[in-house]
Amino acid sequence: MSRFQKLKNLRKQRLHREGTEILIISAVLLLGLNGLVYWGCGFSILFYIVAIISIILYLLMVNFFRCPIRHFEQDSEMIVVAPADGKIVVVQEVDELEYFHDRRLMISIFMSVTNVHANWFPVEGVVKMVRHHNGNFYKAWLPKASTENERSTVVIETPEGDEVLVRQIAGAVARRIVTYAKEGEDCVIDEHMGFIKFGSRVDVYLPLGTEVLCEIGQRTTGNQTVIAKLPEL
């Protein structure tokens, strides 16, 4: 499927599909709670307090599952784009032992509960591997979270032949990882790779010699911020 066809099929949604069930159930429960308070107390101070708290809680949930429509407008050749909203917390060479078994440049993005939690493909190409690992739920910013927490690994081969590994990592609060990538399928930068509920981290492993275009502490916008440029083979 061509890039144009893939982009035409992208859903233009304002709320992510992963939040549909939670938002519906939450709305029913909150309406029920407010109904009970009204039935017992009428339009009392307690009713208004409960109503205000309910509205605030629901708006926070809606904010969490928001899914802005974004399109990468630049040339995507050899470019690595941030797969998530958040903050760069690691830029360093590490040993990657799951797939490459050699030294790689790792760039990590930490997502707080206020960030958009959709994850995008950081490069274009073909999905070579998708693997999910059960594990612990340590705080996502700890180094051991990369190898010991519950996580999903996606490997993409670019048209130029570079291989890029993306790892979705669950944290102490985020306990559900959803990965849409399928082995053998083409992927484009504007396409969602997955979703992590309630804050976590995404690691990107790149070939040595990659030009780093970001720095620790920098805020990223998923599918918009260019974080690196791959080396020519």
Active site residues: 200
Q: How far apart are CA 43 and CA 97, in angstroms?
A: 61
On whether the CB atoms of residues 140 and 108 are closer than 8 A, the answer is no
The half-sphere exposure of 13 on its side-chain side, counting CA atoms within 13 A, is 16
The dihedrals phi and psi of 45, each to the nearest 5 degrees, come to -60, -40
Q: How far apart are CA 178 and CA 192, in angstroms?
A: 11
- Identify any residues that bridge with 165 across adjacent strands, giving them in sequence order: 155, 205
Q: How many CB atoms lie within 10 A of CB 146?
A: 20
Burial class (CB in 10 A: 0-12, 13-18, 19+), 35: exposed
Q: How far apart are CA 156 and CA 32, in angstroms?
A: 46
On whether the CB atoms of residues 220 and 90 are closer than 8 A, the answer is no
